[in-house]
């Protein structure tokens, strides 16, 4: 375990107790009535889910930036998150037609199905390139942008044709991303998928290191571009798809976190994936605690809060890169 992992792992240990106590009403375990029930059934599953979602997005962002060799890459830009969101939106349309026992699971099931469809399309389109890693990267980027654009258009169409005002409100609120009212059920849905996804991304770490030397050098070192692409598609699909399935769209985590971690490492992808997972968990946990504390009439949506942080950060990165070019 490198220094960055120790730093963010230690920070996470300190943040968890604080997040359990923080809220519009702060919990005093010795004085608050029903404090144990509130902590175990409301605060703790929400904190665990924030850690799970943030870890998945952070690891996916580090892997994507390593694969594309682009510090501005974000997993949400390549179709998996938008397709998962489209699947979730479809559940608001068709969930009412399902038996009640099945309808309760329709949203995460549809979202995961959307992520799986995006993974299949990426593998089908980008996995057939004969031109090696460079061609695979270019085709992967174009395929992801096409899928994201198509998913965004279909989601907008679904919102426009929403069957009733209640469905429209639910769709818009869910797309903004939040961990409000989540329970242990969502934790058990997302946690296994995210853990498997991070494990798959860890398998891609050494090939990603080789890829930093260039496409030809990576192939000479035994890197199989198609196998690497498959690992990225599966890993990012599981981590991002599971997060969207339980929390909605939470953007910019995969963009911000690797930049926070990179100065503390040797900058190789293999040194970034685990620390980025821990840093992503810290970021989402802090942001979710902050939206609970802010004195607004209704709780600020987590996706909006992180976008308010991420958009200026993205602009700062662009300006810094522009100064470097000039």
Give CA 258 to chain center in angstroms: 13
Residue 92's pLDDT band (cuts 50, 70, 90): confident
Tell me if 244 sits within 8 A of 113, measured CB to CB. Answer: no
Helices (H) and strands (E) in the chain, counts: 15, 0
CB atoms within 10 A of CB 169: 12
Q: What's the chain's Rg over C-alpha atoms?
A: 20
pLDDT in tens, 144-187: 888 889 999 999 888 888 777 777 887 888 888 899 888 899 99
Please, how many CA atoms are within 13 Å of residue 96, restricted to the half-sphere of its CB? 7
CB atoms inside a 10 Å sphere around CB 130: 7
Structure tokens that stand for 43 in this block? 């605060």
- What pLDDT is recorded for position 76? 73
Mean pLDDT over the full length of the chain? 85
96 pLDDT above the threshold of 70 = no
Cβ neighbours for 135, distance < 8 A, ≥ 6 positions apart: 129
**What does the pLDDT look like over 12-71, one tens digit per residue?**
999 999 999 888 888 887 777 888 888 898 899 999 999 999 999 999 999 988 888 878
CA–CA separation, 48 and 285 (whole Å)? 9
CB 79 within 8 A of CB 121: yes
pLDDT more than 90, % of the chain? 30
How would you classify residue 2: left for phi > 0, otherwise alpha for psi between -120 and 50, otherwise beta? Answer: beta
């Amino acid at each position: 375990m490198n220094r960055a992992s120790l730093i963010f792992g230690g920070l996470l240990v300190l943040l968890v107790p604080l997040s359990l106590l923080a809220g519009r009403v702060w919990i005093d375990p010795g004085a608050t009535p029903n404090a144990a029930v509130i902590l175990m059934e409301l605060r703790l599953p929400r904190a665990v889910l924030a850690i799970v979602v943030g870890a998945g997005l952070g690891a996916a962002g580090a892997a994507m930036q390593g694969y594309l060799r682009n510090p501005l890459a974000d997993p949400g830009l390549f179709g998996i998150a938008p397709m998962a969101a489209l699947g979730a939106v479809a559940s608001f349309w068709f969930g009412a037609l399902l038996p009640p026992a099945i309808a309760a699971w329709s949203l995460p099931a549809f979202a995961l199905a959307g992520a799986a469809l995006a993974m299949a399309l990426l593998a089908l389109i980008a996995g057939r390139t004969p031109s090696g890693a460079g061609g695979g990267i270019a085709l992967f980027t174009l395929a992801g942008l096409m899928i994201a654009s198509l998913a965004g258009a279909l989601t907008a169409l679904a919102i426009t044709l929403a069957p009733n005002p209640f469905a429209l409100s639910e769709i818009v609120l869910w797309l903004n991303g939040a961990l409000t009212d989540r329970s242990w059920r969502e934790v058990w849905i997302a946690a296994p998928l995210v853990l498997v996804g991070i494990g798959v991304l860890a398998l891609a770490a050494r090939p990603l290191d080789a890829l930093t030397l260039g496409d030809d050098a990576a192939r000479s070192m035994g890197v199989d571009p198609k196998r690497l692409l498959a690992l990225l598609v599966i890993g990012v699909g599981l981590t991002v798809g599971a997060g969207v399935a339980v929390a909605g769209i939470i953007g910019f985590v995969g963009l911000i976190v690797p930049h926070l971690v990179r100065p503390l490492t040797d900058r190789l992808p293999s040194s970034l994936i685990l620390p980025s997972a821990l840093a992503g968990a810290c970021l989402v946990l802090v942001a979710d605690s902050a939206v609970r504390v802010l004195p607004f009439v209704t709780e600020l949506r987590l996706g909006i809060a992180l976008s308010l942080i991420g958009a200026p950060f993205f602009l700062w990165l662009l300006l810094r890169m522009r100064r470097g070019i000039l």
